[in-house]
Amino acid sequence: MDIKRSGSQPSGTGPAEYFTGNVRIDPLSQTTAPARVLAVSVTFEPGARTVEQLDGKTVEWMEKVSDEQYQASLGKK
Is 34 within the bounds of a domain?
yes
pLDDT-derived band of residue 24, with 50, 70 and 90 as boundaries? Answer: very high
pLDDT-derived band of residue 43, with 50, 70 and 90 as boundaries? Answer: very high
- Quick one: pLDDT at residue 55? 61
Closest CA to 15 of 32, 36, 40: 40
Is 49 within the bounds of a domain?
yes
Domain count within the chain = 1
Is 28 within the bounds of a domain?
yes
Is 41 within the bounds of a domain?
yes
- Report pTM: 0.56
Residue 49 domain boundaries? 2-54
What is the identity of the amino acid at 23?
Answer: V
- Calpha distance 24→40 (Å, rounded): 10
Is pLDDT of 23 > 90?
yes
pLDDT-derived band of residue 44, with 50, 70 and 90 as boundaries? Answer: very high
- Segment 53-72 mean pLDDT: 70
Is 15 within the bounds of a domain?
yes
Is 10 within the bounds of a domain?
yes
Is 74 within the bounds of a domain?
no
